[in-house]
Amino acid sequence: MNERIARVRAHQRNIERYEGLLKSCLTEIELRFVNQRLLEERKSLAMLQLMNPSDPVEMIQLPLPDAVAVAATARFRSEA
């Protein structure tokens, strides 16, 4: 398997895991950590896609944040 494809898939799995964590009951510190890691994973995935966007196998749509993630982020920003 191409190393780049493996990296893309790893970032996708991490994004899914962090989105799942946002649906659980987290403390404020945990919420901040998970939100930060989620942003970092999405950024890394986007950077991988930009490196060679012409390769259709590796072009993967970034998932839109679900309602829980949006609400958690809004709560985090309003309390900061």
Summarize pLDDT for 4-38 with one digit per residue, the tens: 889 999 999 999 999 999 999 999 999 999 999 99
**How far is the C-alpha of 2 from the C-alpha of 16, rounded, in Å?**
21
Query: Each residue of 28-73: pLDDT tens digit?
Result: 999 999 999 999 999 999 998 887 655 554 445 555 555 555 555 5
**How far is the C-alpha of 66 from the C-alpha of 21, rounded, in Å?**
12
Residue 27 has which token pair?
């403390």
**How far is the C-alpha of 35 from the C-alpha of 14, rounded, in Å?**
12
Would you say the pTM of this structure is higher than 0.85? Answer: no
**How far is the C-alpha of 80 from the C-alpha of 41, rounded, in Å?**
22
Query: For the chain, what is the radius of gyration of the CA atoms?
Result: 14
